[in-house]
Amino acid sequence: MKKILLALLILNCQFFLISAENRAIKDATFYLKRESQTLKSYYQQVILQSKNAQYPVFRGRKIIEHSVYNGLTNAQKNALKGELVLSYFILRDFVKYSHLGGVGVGGVLVSEAKDKKPRMFYLKFDGRYLSDLEFLGMGSELYAYCVLPHFNHCILLGIGEDWG
């Protein structure tokens, strides 16, 4: 009888611990940290394929890595209009926020961050990302998909999502 009670007590404690873990607040940092290895691996694969012009496809759109895109000719860039760019960047500036226009941010590519004068570029996110971007803060390393050629309609990758 004591063994049964002990087993029930242990089982109940395990359910309590699992339940407490599921109730814990999961913010953008939680997800970004959890998915960082997957994102880095994915990013490296996209760079490799982009350099060989063998672009991966997401929802019918080709994906090209940001620094590879920067190195293309204007004609090559025009051919990618409406496709996606994958940016791995460091958040440096909040430009604006509007309920109608979303939030604009400035950043530098992680690959260029240690250069003497890294190039600043700007991305436009939907307004729903404002709180996540503010929470993550300046200096955060982030991943985003944006629609070319204007780097707008961006979505942050690896934040606030359960992937499976």
pTM above 0.75, yes or no: yes
Mean pLDDT of 67-87: 97
Boundaries of domain holding 44: 26-157
Q: Is residue 3 part of a domain?
A: no
**Distances from the Cα of 28 to the Cα of 87, 96, 153, angstroms:** 18, 21, 19
Q: Is residue 12 part of a domain?
A: no
CA atoms of 124 and 134, how far apart (whole Å): 14
Q: Is residue 2 part of a domain?
A: no
Residue-wise pLDDT for 132-158, tens only, equals 898 899 999 999 999 999 999 999 998
Burial of 111-132, coded b for 16+ CB within 10 Å and e otherwise, reads ebeeeeebeebebbbeeebbeb
Q: Is residue 19 part of a domain?
A: no
- Looking at residue 103, its pLDDT comes to 92
- Looking at residue 161, its pLDDT comes to 52
Mean pLDDT of 102-111: 94
The DSSP code for 5 is: H
- Percent of the chain with pLDDT strictly greater than 70: 78
Distance of alpha carbon 33 from the chain centroid: 11
Domains held by the chain: number: 1
CA neighbor of 143 nearest in space, from 107, 117, 119, 112: 107
Name residue, tokens 């929802």: 59
